[in-house]
Chain A
Amino acid sequence: MKYIAFAAALAATPAMADQAVSINFAAQIAGKPFSCTETYMGLGAKGTAVKGIDYRLFVSGAALIRADGTAQPIALDQDGKWQLDDLALLDFEDGTGGCATGTAEINTTLRGTVPEGDYVGLGFALAVPFDKNHGDPTLAPAPLNTTAMFWNWQGGYRFVRIDMVPVDKAADGPKGWFLHLGSTQCPAASKTEAPTAPCKNPNHLPVTFAAFDPATNVVVIDPAAVVADADLTVNAPETSPGCMSFPGDADCVSVMGKLGQAYGDLPAGPQQLVTMR
């Protein structure tokens, strides 16, 4: 890992010098870079061809990890747009093609600083932290005012939104196969008060890479392994299209474990959404 010292710039203060750090993310579907105009082959149990029409994630709590295992939180640049405190919205769709709910702007990196030091690994979560997930979105600063990530019926935000639509979708069929991860069953949450108890299913997705060099490595997001055993051509009757984390949805049974989440009586498996290269 290379270190860029800003000691000269900070000479006036006795504080430890910071180094800039940028974590690059790559969004893929079935191994191909995500694009709103691309068709992806062989998804799910039926090998379905799909288009991707939205692809956004919230990342929070990112930290570099020292050789001794301790974590150094990355102080994200507060850009007033994508990054807020330790939370960032990653946005891989550019509003072209089928991304009708999208915007031209994209954001594919975390940008911040850490104290100068030796770091070997990376950790973060795909999540909106509990204390930010249940505020009033009409008053929230960016990126928590992004309506595309609103999940108001559940009283929070989607942490992961990857919307796929089978190419040969039936005209009267479900509108697509949408993968949404977010907290469910947060009984005390309301607009004006923080919930008094944690959500029953927080559905935070923590990720740790023991060896990760921001200069050369990239975090890779790909839903193909997550949906490998799901049939993307159908939707269980009387449930949301695809898997939206809601309990009792047959479309989620093979999926949530691969997002690292327990689901009903099913145990959590190793998450398969996020890898690195």
Chain B
Amino acid sequence: MGRLAIWAGCIGVAGLALATPAPLTAEPYSWPIPAWMPPPPVPADNPMTTQKVDLGRHLFYDARLSADGTVACVSCHVQDRAFTDGREVPVGINGTFGIRNAPGLANAGYVPMLTWANPHMTSLEFQALMPLFGDNPDEMGNNGQEAALFARLAADPYYATAFPDAFPDRPAPDLFTVTRALAAFQRSLISVDSPYDRFKYWGDKDALSDAAKRGEQLFFDHRFECYHCHSGIHFTENLQTSRSAFAETGFHNTGLYNIDGAGAYPANNTGLMELTGDPADMGKFRTPSLRNVALTAPYFHDGSAATLDEVLDHYRQGGRSIATGPHAGHGATSPLRDGMIVGNSATKAEIADIIAFLESLTDTGFLTNPAYADPWPADHPAVADRVLP
């Protein structure tokens, strides 16, 4: 009961977060967060409303967002996998493989730079253009086809009222409204109710197993240094909230590759260097959040670790060794490896405890929250040809 009361109290916080007055018809959006938690920042041109979030949810699950009606956002971001797809790399239109692992969307609104390593991706609104219109690789295949895309959406009876409800001043599907609605829905995807949250923030000492409690102590221990990067409320140093004075970001080379002895990563996955051109940025990728991490395998930017055991073994060795093939090399000897990746002497029992702790970050309410679920009937044209992972 105490929790419910506090959650209800957060409606007031949401009201303050709206930078611009919402239209009279708009219902103020109520953040699904406890009162102690600040909501994510909201761009001035995209205030949260219940209508817009609901429109965004319909768009998120609508495969008509792709040129051939097969790929929806959910085709790579599935709720019960914490909005990942279980694959090393996602698959877009015409069976086109992506280049980097589909990131989970829990708490995406708190992430100041989206995707794995791109300083240009500073808002969910802007990021939505990539899957919609990107062609290297193709994801939803709409490059150059925006008129057809918006016509498909405008023809649907639901959207005929949902767009005007969400955007009274700009009531049609277009580059602005579609990206704003998708961003509003993603901003609503908040996961802060795992057993660890109940243990840590709500005082429920029985919420964690003994193994998870031991794992917590190891996770926050200098022997393992996990928390130096996986820090804060979302277990990543990449964080912005509506109370942040500034956004915090963190990118690291963890020694996954060392192809040339000088720290090279595979040519199509050089991390932050691809965008900055700074050789020192080779192999630097954004620290991902660990919330729901037990469900988001495979791991790393290229999905190259199948299990948490593999991930922790990589950190135990202080870098990954690849014996043969085009990516062969010893990550532990990379001159570009982050100084925090020092290797450790974890025992099997300790690794099992850390994994128990990581599993306690699974928020089953988030995975089953009907507010995040597919709103379309199974026989609706929005989903008739939709492919799921």
* Contact surface of A with B, Cβ cutoff 8 Å: 54, 101-103, 136-139, 145-148, 150, 152-155, 175, 184-192, 200-201, 236-241, 244, 246-249
Contact = CB atoms under 8 A, between A and B. Distances in A.
A185 B276 contact: yes
A188 B272 CA distance: 12
B50 interface: no
A101 B135 contact: yes
A152 B120 contact: yes
Given A239-B268, A240-B136, A152 B129 contact: yes
Given A137-B175, A147-B133, A153 B267 contact: no
B123 interface: yes
Contacts of B268: 238-239
Contacts of B270: 248
Which 6 residue pairs across A and B have the least CB separation, nearest first? A185-B277, A148-B144, A101-B144, A155-B120, A238-B268, A187-B276
A184 B277 contact: yes
B143 interface: yes
Interface string B146-171: 11000000000000000000000000
Nearest to B326: A237
B274 A147 contact: no
A189 B133 contact: no
B133 A150 contact: yes
B100 to A, nearest CB: 11
Contacts of A146: 144
Nearest to A93: B144
A137 B129 CA distance: 9
Nearest to A145: B175
A154 B121 CA distance: 10
Q: Which of B130, B275, B326 has the most CB of A within 10 A?
A: B275
Contact of A102 (B144, B179, B277, B326): B144
Contacts of B136: 153, 240-241, 244
A190 B114 CA distance: 12
B339 to A, nearest CB: 22
Nearest to A101: B144
Given A102-B144, A137-B175, A201-B277, A189 B135 contact: no
Contact of A147 (B145, B267, B276, B278): B145
A187 B126 contact: no
Contacts of A238: 266-269
A8 to B, nearest CB: 41
23 contacts: A103-B144, A103-B147, A136-B125, A139-B45, A147-B144, A148-B143, A152-B133, A155-B119, A175-B138, A185-B275, A187-B119, A187-B278, A189-B119, A191-B120, A200-B277, A236-B267, A238-B269, A240-B136, A244-B136, A246-B274, A247-B277, A248-B270, A249-B267
Given A138-B125, A147-B143, A189 B120 contact: yes
Given A101-B144, A191-B126, A153 B118 contact: yes
Q: Which of A137, A238, A247, A248 has the most CB of B within 10 A?
A: A238
Interface in B94-153: 118-120, 122-123, 125-126, 129-130, 132-136, 138, 142-147
A152 B130 contact: yes
Q: Which of B125, B133, B135, B270 has the most CB of A within 10 A?
A: B135
A157 B252 CA distance: 28
Nearest to A178: B136
Contacts of B277: 184-185, 187, 200-201, 247
Contacts of A155: 119-120, 275
B376 interface: no
Contact of A239 (B45, B126, B135, B267): B267
B317 to A, nearest CB: 25
Contacts of A103: 144, 147
A198 B267 CA distance: 24
Contacts of B129: 137-138, 147, 150, 152
A190 B274 CA distance: 15
B143 A150 contact: yes
